[in-house]
């Protein structure tokens, strides 16, 4: 990964039974700066390659224009997600994450 601090995306959560949908979007500073005019779908392969899905953490990463952009969704202690059904989908202006939960818990914690 790139050196230095990561610039976080804005995260919106729609929590439901069995799954949570997380929508990541650019901050105003990102829209006006390093990510101006950039479509996430154009960088789909690098986002998928650099991101990771683990039982207790989903990390989305986009190294671009000399910076590192992303967001971490931490799963509450004692809970896990289904890594085979959890999916990261870069779209034009947002990155959608479908998190499939094992058991009942609420995100964000």
| CATH number of the structural domain spanning residue 69 | 2.60.40.790
Q: Cα(52)–Cα(60) distance, rounded to whole angstroms?
A: 7
Q: Is the pLDDT of residue 3 over 70?
A: no
Looking at the domain assignment, is residue 80 inside a domain? yes
Q: How confident is the model at residue 1 (pLDDT cuts 50, 70, 90)?
A: very low
Looking at the domain assignment, is residue 53 inside a domain? yes
Looking at the domain assignment, is residue 1 inside a domain? no
Closest CA to 93 of 34, 15, 23, 16: 23
How many domains does the chain divide into?
1
Looking at the domain assignment, is residue 59 inside a domain? yes
Looking at the domain assignment, is residue 14 inside a domain? yes
Looking at the domain assignment, is residue 109 inside a domain? no
Looking at the domain assignment, is residue 42 inside a domain? yes
Looking at the domain assignment, is residue 92 inside a domain? yes
In 10-93, where do the E strands start and end? 10-15, 19-25, 52-54, 57-64, 67-74, 80-81, 87-90
Q: Is the pLDDT of residue 109 over 70?
A: no
What range does the domain containing 83 cover? 6-102
| Residue pLDDT, tens place only, 39-95 | 999 999 999 999 999 999 999 999 998 899 999 999 999 999 999 999 999 999 999
CB 3 within 8 A of CB 67: no
């Amino acid at each position: 990964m790139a050196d230095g601090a990561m610039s976080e995306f804005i995260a919106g959560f729609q929590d439901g039974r069995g799954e949570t949908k997380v929508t990541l979007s650019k901050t105003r500073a990102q829209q006006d700066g390093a990510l101006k005019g950039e479509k996430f779908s154009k960088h789909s392969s690098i986002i998928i390659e650099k991101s990771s899905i683990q039982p207790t953490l989903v990390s989305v990463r986009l190294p671009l224009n000399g910076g590192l952009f992303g967001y971490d969704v931490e799963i509450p202690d004692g809970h896990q997600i289904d890594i085979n059904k959890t999916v990261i989908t870069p779209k034009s202006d947002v990155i959608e994450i479908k998190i499939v939960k094992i058991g009942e818990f609420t995100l964000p914690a």
